[in-house]
Chain A
Amino acid sequence: MKWIIGVVLAAIMGFGVAPKPADRFRGDDEKGKSYRFPWQRAGLTERQAAAHLLSRFTYGATPGEVDAVVKMGLENWFAQQLAAQLPDDSLDRILSRYDALALSNSEVVETYPRNGQVIRMAIRDGVVDKDSVRTDRKEYRQVIQNYMQEKGYKREQELFRQFFCQKILRAAYTHNQLKEVMTDFWFNHFNVSITKNDCAEFIPAYERDVIRPNALGRFNELLLKTAKSPAMLYYLDNFTSSAANNDAMAGRQQAGGKARPRGLNENYAREVMELHTLGVDGGYTQKDVTEAARVLTGWGVYPLGQAARGPQAARLARFSDEQIARRGFVHEGDFFFNENRHDKGAKVVLGHVFPAGGGYEEGVELLGLLAHHPSTARFICHKLAVRFVSDDPPATLVDKMSKTFVEKNGDIRQVLIAMVTSPDFWSPEALREKTKSPFELAIGAVRSLHATIYQPMQLYNWVARMGERKYYYQAPTGFPDKGTYWINTGSLLSRMNFGLALAAGKIPGISVDLLALNNGHEPESAEAALLTYGHIILPERNLDATVKRLTPMLNDPELTRKVEKASANAQAADSTRMDVQTMQGDQSDPMLAQVVGIIIGSPEYQRR
């Protein structure tokens, strides 16, 4: 069966393979020449430099992590993160509890049918009458639920729930932080969205098999693999795109069970140039878009799930992949190039001639051309500099990175090294210049407090409330990576509320032990708590202003009394609700929880 290919492919791509121990800890680049980070020139102490490094390449420093990085050496730490091979045994153990995470696209389609599909199947199987379909009725929903249980189908939302949970857990707990940060960066760069039904169910495998394994690899690989993934093929409609005038064969080839109107669809061709490679000012014309779309006709998805039992699959199954390949078709995992839908005429894109009679390989050639274009180098490097340095990075830095991008053939590790060895990365203009995204804030807070995540969904919901509903950004641009997008009146209040709720242990599924952070020592006063916990949570930051501003208020004897009284009342109210998670959280000192909550919600903590 075809799904086996998916599983094998997943194994080859590294999913489920035991991590090898890291063997290259030194800050060496390819030629074995070691590099040094120029933080001293910017007037930083080594600890400040380590804190800066952690703030950019992890989801936030855990308590004591600055010391650990200083001890092992900043360059060594970075090399270790670039190698991304640290064992993650405890994370893997937690993730193994989620049974949907390793499924191939085919298995996903078989196990998690969309709601509408379930109804159609139930009608087909005679479980419900087509005239009695009433999705708003309880009894009716029960019938459908029983039907799904009997068939072993699960709700699509459960697939997404598990997928969201893994995102949170990985970000919070992986030791290979940079790889996870880069996975987020590339996912957002090559954005696909759950809001589009057609591609939604393929998104978990997209992140797992396409993005994460290539997050620190080569750009052209990443580009080609996204282009061939079902998620992208459906999200930007390239699966529908075919030569305008086609032979009769094409009409009968219906992959994925989707009705595919004949004709050119330019969506992907446009976005691959505008958003994925060259950038909007990258020097292409509408003519180039149309021609590129013609080059990419015939790219689609191999029959999956139900369609794998359909007529097209049956026809294809008569041939081995080799035989298929001899006829100009290509079958690789879930990808299928349908020669019959391909436009075989000559094309010219960006002055490059694709002679008549080309097939699949001319699409690969086109993507290679785009990946290595100087405009792409600039566009990608600028975006990386925005992510890691500042919302408005200096041109000198982007130039340096672009040069490396071109010279090193789009090697992402080398581009990152070029960035971090540049003085611009360490300059005073870059320090604390980035605003944390809601996801970075939430995960960072969990890491800062050494919190334990039992159930990640509430955290996911908080991130959404603060303005970043992961995987639901509708437009192919991805979330804008700038402070002005993240910070608005509503989201800012939510950030403060998040800090208070987390520190008070009021986020179900997350447990916080504030005393343990200070080795079990209870601070003597609110002011002492502010100083002690400020330095644990915001290492190497100047907290003078924060402390000065808050001290008079914290020293007000009335305040402590009021907070404790209020909390006692609240606890009494809560305990009648028998909320176990809440009770756990409320065991800590309410004044301490308040102080820590204010630190998390403070302006200083919103920056990195």
Chain B
Amino acid sequence: MASRRAFLKSGGLALFGVGLMGGIPAFMAEAAASEKVPSLYKRKRVLVCIFQRGAMDGLMAVTPFTDTYLQAARPTLSLSAVASGRKNPLIDLDGKWGLHPGMKSFEPLFRDGRLAIVHGIGSPNNTRSHFDAQDYMESGTPFNKGTASGWLNRAVGLLGHDAATPFTAVSLTSALPRSFYGDNPSVAISNLQDFAIQLRGNPAAANTAAKSFEDLYDQASAGLLRDTGKESFEAMKMLQQADIRNYRPAAGVMYPNSPLGNSMRQIAQLVKMDVGLEVAFTESNGWDTHFNQGTDNGVFSRNVTDLSNSIAAFWRDLDAYQDDVTVMTMTEFGRTVHQNGTGGTDHGRASCNFILGNHVAGGQVYGVVPALATENLEDGRDLPVTTDFRSVFSAVADAHLRISNDRVLFPDWNGKKAGVMKG
């Protein structure tokens, strides 16, 4: 695949222009004329965030398997770290923590020190409403609903340079997520292939129309429509040129055939195309396991398998780009320590999250998780929140994207960053 970087290295803008119908993209011409050139074409660091909607049961994903209180609280929802014949055992990480067997693709990443886990992570606001908790986590202001912007949109504003391309912040979702609300440029694309002028069943008509549209927008009197129009067509050509339809992941990499797998594959495409991606977002659904969540089999197991396989495939697919990318998962809260009457768990407080990257101080389970005796639980029922999600998010944003202005990123917060990243 021809990347922009490759073009630049092999002869600069002129050669790049040849491949495009409309000549040199305006933002590149502008960039060439401005002083920003060196920073623009530096390889970009990319933060990929995955929101697990519905609240993941952190205690089943990463289990403190020596805790007898937990085993007692979950008579039919516990896994052991010892193979017993009937059930797949947990993956023993360090004698205390067991990774769910569905996440075996995470094990090598953890052992290599690339994958970190933070347990007991959550929000200081004790709401157990999905909506409110997601809203607070995505706005980054756990006690203020009126915050108009999302934390990732503010992160884009703090990158220290103008958005160089339309693909600076991309959400692989059908609508803009709350995390992306705000004034800084960001775009929701559910499918990269849709990023084109198209008419169902009549591609030739779409092609001729595209030319007309491009001319019209080029001459539009309204600045916003003219500039965005130009960008749209440039972005479209970048994707067309990359032949996204026939994307082939790195040898041996198989993405799960799931919405998350498809999203991660497309994020990998954008990373490899060097189209200026810096913040990517996508979601994984179905974590609200009130009924029969299962153990080594069942809904929960399928979910963690999809999550870990999608991320692991993405990681292997990135190949030479791994140094540039950090992946972080998040979920609005955790679930009750006790199983409920229908083989599931109800809304709780703390959960855990995963951070993957070469700059991550991985191979460790961070955070404070007390013995799960009732007196140690929040409200006598839930894993207490011992790490504010903002201390982890800000640490990752700082170390990976060099965003240190926490007053803007997380107003109302002045805690300490979690030490989950290297140096």
Contacts and interface: CB of A to CB of B under 8 A. Distances in A.
Contacts of A193: 131
Interface stretch (A92-100, A295-303, A410-418, A482-490): A482-490
Q: How many of chain A's residues touch chain B, expressed as a range?
A: 35 or more
Contacts of B221: 545, 603
B202 A504 contact: yes
Contacts of A325: none
A566 B145 contact: no
B202 A567 contact: yes
Nearest to A606: B225
B188 interface: yes
A135 B132 contact: no
A252 interface: no
B43 interface: no
A3 to B, nearest CB: 26
Given A549-B215, A566-B204, A464 B228 contact: no
B292 A134 contact: yes
Contact of A237 (B132, B203, B209, B235): B132
A563 B196 CA distance: 18
A16 interface: no
B93 interface: no
A157 to B, nearest CB: 16
A136 B302 CA distance: 11
A550 B212 contact: yes
A428 B183 CA distance: 27
B349 to A, nearest CB: 14
Contacts of B215: 549-550, 553
A475 B148 contact: yes
A378 interface: no
Interface string A150-165: 0000000000000000
A496 B129 contact: no
B248 interface: no
Contacts of B131: 193, 195-198, 474
Interface in A501-533: 501, 504, 506
A597 interface: yes
Given A492-B228, A493-B232, A504-B205, A601 B213 contact: yes
B226 interface: yes
A607 interface: yes
A469 B175 contact: yes
A431 to B, nearest CB: 12
B338 to A, nearest CB: 16
A28 to B, nearest CB: 37
Given A270-B146, A550-B216, A603-B217, A497 B197 contact: yes
A361 B145 CA distance: 26
A11 interface: no
A4 to B, nearest CB: 31
Given A493-B197, A550-B215, A598-B216, A467 B178 contact: no
Interface residues of B, number: 66
B408 to A, nearest CB: 16
Contacts of B231: 489
Nearest to A275: B146
A501 B199 contact: yes
Nearest to B292: A133
Looking at A490, A501, A567, A570, which has the most chain B CB atoms within 10 Å of its CB? Answer: A490
A211 to B, nearest CB: 20
A130 B343 contact: yes
Contact of A490 (B195, B217, B292, B302): B195
B76 to A, nearest CB: 9
Nearest to A266: B143
A480 B148 CA distance: 9
A440 interface: no
B405 interface: no
A131 interface: yes
Contacts of A197: 130-131
Contacts of A570: 201-202, 204-205
B205 A490 contact: no
A119 interface: yes
A488 B186 CA distance: 8
A131 B292 contact: yes
B28 interface: no
Nearest to A556: B208
B66 interface: no
Interface in A27-81: none
Given A504-B205, A602-B216, A607 B222 contact: yes
Interface string A544-571: 0110011001000001001101110110
A267 interface: yes
A280 B204 contact: no
B145 A489 contact: no
Interface string B130-170: 11100100010000111110000000000000000010000
Interface in A555-608: 559, 562-563, 565-567, 569-570, 573-574, 582, 590, 594, 597-598, 601-604, 606-607
Interface in A265-281: 267, 270-271, 274-275, 280
A270 B144 contact: yes
Contacts of A136: 299, 302
B368 interface: no
A526 to B, nearest CB: 10
Contact of B189 (A195, A484, A490): A490
Give the 4 A-B CB pairs with smallest separation, nearest first: A566-B204, A603-B220, A133-B291, A570-B202
5 contacts: A280-B146, A598-B216, A602-B213, A603-B216, A603-B220
